[in-house]
Amino acid sequence: MARKENIESVELLLRDLCDPDQPFGGKVIVFGGDFRQVLPVVPHKTQREVVATSLVTSHIWPWLQKLHLTENIRAKADPPYASFLLAVAAFPELQHPAFTPDIFTERAILTPLNDAVDSINNFLIDKFPGEAVVYKSFDSILDDNCVIYPTEFLNQLAPGGMTPHGLVLKVNSPVILLRNIDPADGLCNGTRLICKYFRRNVIVCSIAIGHRKGELVFIHRVNLRPPSSAKYPIQFEHIQFPLKLSFAMTINKSQGKTLSQVMVYLPQPCFSHGQLYVALSRAKKSEKVTVITPSLLKFTIHQF
């Protein structure tokens, strides 16, 4: 999903630092992903203009050696089956007092828009056992000319990629990291975590996936500003923990993740190139994917 201008800038930098006559300064660069899936996010552009920002249209593309998988690396495990009906039915264990947090690393609800993600997450955290802890953000205006906006108005602003003003968490609830904090230690944008302990200015989580699974990490508040694509008429920032509940996540956020069970909730059609393909290919086996689409006053369930 990276725009070609970003990669071209890295290529020029490596030429300046290393060998000016070699692509990427003579260094070996490995790209991971599939350009046929979700394209770069370019607001208010046509599909042709969005495609023009992808790496495949860059002068760098002919230099790259393309490697293709020869087999489906996802269809190798045979995880236990779980029936998905509605949002709460994706995690039936929540109805019982004892369950393991591992269920949240193996399953997920995927949907195109952040509004649906927030609605599902808020509903499921209410059903989640335990006492809720609420962390409020500290919001402020960055432009002195816009001091007429009250703090209560800023509290209501939560564009994509930012946490809400009131972050509601419980012990063992699943969250996803929204910023690159310490990539060397596995704390990258998109890392899934399990909440363990809550303090006033720090949240202790365990890493839920990867080779660092089970390690405890400390998450602190950071300054969060809306992306330039949000087109807000004012400049503001939240001081909040860079975490978001991850019972459900957007399809874009799920790229690169491998899950045992996937429920795809489509209250409206997918709006981006390759989104449906990405959602349907997150599970290890096709029969572990369930698609739910609302039809009038009832849900239509498609089991693969």
Q: What is the pLDDT of residues 62-92, one digit of tens each?
A: 888 877 776 655 544 333 322 334 445 567 6
pLDDT of 124 > 70? The answer is yes
Residue 82, pLDDT score: 29
pLDDT of 253 > 60? The answer is yes
Q: pTM for the whole thing?
A: 0.64
Considering the chain, what percentage of its residues have pLDDT values greater than 70? 76
**Mean pLDDT in residue range 86-108:** 67
Distances (CA, A) of 22 to 28, 57, 97, 233, 245: 11, 20, 60, 44, 44
pLDDT of 139 > 80? The answer is no
Closest to 154 (Cα-Cα) out of 170, 168, 172, 142:
142
For residue 12, list its beta bridge partners: none
